[in-house]
Structure 1
Amino acid sequence: MKFWEQLVVTLICCYDWKSSGMSHPKPACRYPPSQWCRSLEIAVECKVQNQCMELNAIKPNQTVPQVSVTLYYESLCPDSRHFITHQLFPTWTMLQDIMSLTLVPYGNAKEMFPANSPFACQHGAPECRGNMIEACIISLTGNSLAVQIIYCMESSTDVLGAAESCLQLYAPSVSWSSVDSCVSGDLGHRLMHDYTVMTRALNPVHSHVPWVTFDGEHTDEMEDKAMSSLFHLVCELYKGVKPPACTGAPVKLSRSGC
């Protein structure tokens, strides 16, 4: 279930129970809200099948390619953090049905040889650790959860200090020890090497971060639009029928209750 769908379903349930003068009960199911619409069986158990079917009915045409957005950034770069928290995450929350997002936490880092200190980062060793933590989180949790965890980290006062609690909040089934093992082991270094290759392959070569590509392309015009309103740019680039979030069209959902 998409993040915005979770919010909609939750609001529907809350609205119906509040309007009836009754307190809103917790769903009698063993699944978190993020999984309510993952399958019909789960939706039935959690008593949200009507809402899930209606939400699926208004999803964009899945045969039309999503807008592919790739963000090259650094974990401790102030401009990267501002873009993630003020542009990227709100846009992804509303438009993830029409956009695919790839995060590349590398930026202006450099791969060094010999490998006793394999990476040098613009904001020092803490940023190298932050980049690798986020790379490991992406690898271990999957893209959707990783976006939420990384937003949680980047919006915190202490990015590195918030990592463990953000992981526990959004992916409690993934242990912090597995992330720590990734960071200190071969997997973390392999992930960062892959990001090195991806970043070096950029054409045109990136000159700063945040650096955003759309369907593999970067232009000054697209960057200007992304920095001022990524949301409107993604809506503009999507070639299918625009979702209600882009057009502002009202969406009427059932009030049958949970």
Structure 2
Amino acid sequence: MASFKLAIRIMITFSLCFPILQAEGATSSPEKVNLTVYYESLGKPCAEFIIRNLGEVFNGDLIDIVNLQLVPWANASINSTNNSISCQNGPDECKLNSLESCVLNLWDDVNKNYALIYCFEFLVIEGRLEKWESCFSELDLPQQPVLKCYNQGKGTQLGRKYVNETANLKPLCKFLPWVMVNNQSIGKDYANFTTFVCKAYKGPTLPAACHKLESS
């Protein structure tokens, strides 16, 4: 178990640091593929997808052709009477949804966002969600901006936006995680999102991850 935890920690650090070195010299491209993940923070299938599958987007320079968007609150509902939000898995999920919303909107850096959310969701899988604050020190990221956003209720405000966005999907979201490539659902084959991304990419140079798929 200890070695597994060490591997996870190395993977988080790699996701945070290495792609940033690649991204510094990269320019945005109109050929990039939109990869959107609608999820709930305490849903086990969502957490498993984030920590076991989604990390592939940072392998083989796939991130160079992807615009990754994470959308929490996907299974929450808004009370039309008082505008409050309820989450399928209770108040703890609303809290984590709020924290992750703040993370996603504080830093314009997909590497930092993914690494921190990965850490949160790993704790969900382990049943240690109460240790979420440890992720900041483990990843050497500032905690105060996220707490300020959360305490001011901005995460919940963002939640209303995300709930409405999810409700307006066509076709409607049927299960979570609901993964879309260029606004098209890939259904229950979401674990194989790399295949769909590579097929959708129309740019001049395929990344190594796509070449690997072709060779296999």
What residue ranges of structure 1 are gaps of 5+ in the alignment? Answer: 8-31, 40-55, 250-258
Change (3 A) 1:35 1:223: closer
Aligned to 1:138: 104
Indicate which of 53, 57, 82 corresponds to 1:87.
53
What pairs with 1:102-117 in structure 2 (closer than 5 Å)? 102-115=69-82
Aligned to 1:47: none
Q: Confirm or deny that 1:233 pairs with 2:200.
A: no
Taking the aligned partners of 1:161 and 1:196, their CA distance within structure 2 comes to 25
Secondary structure of the corresponding residue to residue 180 of structure 2: strand
What residue ranges of structure 2 are gaps of 5+ in the alignment? Answer: 1-10
Change (3 A) 1:216 1:209: same
Q: Confirm or deny that 1:168 pairs with 2:131.
A: no
What per-residue deviation string (whole Å, max 9, x for no partner) do you get for residues 133-168 of structure 1? 100111122333111111111122146334322233
Aligned to 2:212: 248
Aligned to 2:34: 68
Aligned to 1:191: 158
In terms of fraction of residues, the more helix-rich structure is 2
Taking the aligned partners of 1:180 and 1:245, their CA distance within structure 2 comes to 36
Letter in 1 for 2:132: A
TM normalised by structure 1 equals 0.66
Letter in 1 for 2:187: E
Secondary structure of the corresponding residue to residue 64 of structure 2: coil
How far residue 235 of structure 1 moved from its aligned partner, in angstroms, is 1.8
Taking the aligned partners of 1:36 and 1:97, their CA distance within structure 2 comes to 12
Change (3 A) 1:103 1:159: farther
Letter in 1 for 2:189: K
Taking the aligned partners of 1:100 and 1:246, their CA distance within structure 2 comes to 16
What per-residue deviation string (whole Å, max 9, x for no partner) do you get for residues 223-254 of structure 1? 24323x222222222112211232139xxxxx
Q: Is the 8 A contact 1:107 1:208 kept in 2?
A: no
Change (3 A) 1:134 1:93: farther
Aligned to 2:171: 204
Taking the aligned partners of 1:124 and 1:37, their CA distance within structure 2 comes to 39
How far residue 33 of structure 1 moved from its aligned partner, in angstroms, is 6.4
Change (3 A) 1:63 1:108: closer
Indicate which of 85, 105, 129 corresponds to 1:119.
85
Higher RCO (C-alpha under 8 Å, 6+ residues apart): 2
Taking the aligned partners of 2:59 and 2:107, their CA distance within structure 1 comes to 18
Taking the aligned partners of 2:105 and 2:95, their CA distance within structure 1 comes to 15
What per-residue deviation string (whole Å, max 9, x for no partner) do you get for residues 48-91 of structure 1? xxxxxxxx6xx7x9645111011000000011011111211223
Q: Is the 8 A contact 2:75 2:163 kept in 1?
A: no
What per-residue deviation string (whole Å, max 9, x for no partner) do you get for residues 84-142 of structure 1? 11211223444110111101111210012454x82111111111111111001111223
Q: Confirm or deny that 1:148 pairs with 2:115.
A: yes
Aligned pair count reads: 195
Q: Confirm or deny that 1:99 pairs with 2:62.
A: no
Taking the aligned partners of 1:34 and 1:243, their CA distance within structure 2 comes to 14
Q: Is the 8 A contact 2:39 2:46 kept in 1?
A: yes
How far residue 171 of structure 1 moved from its aligned partner, in angstroms, is 5.0
Task: Give the structure with higher Rg (CA).
Answer: 1
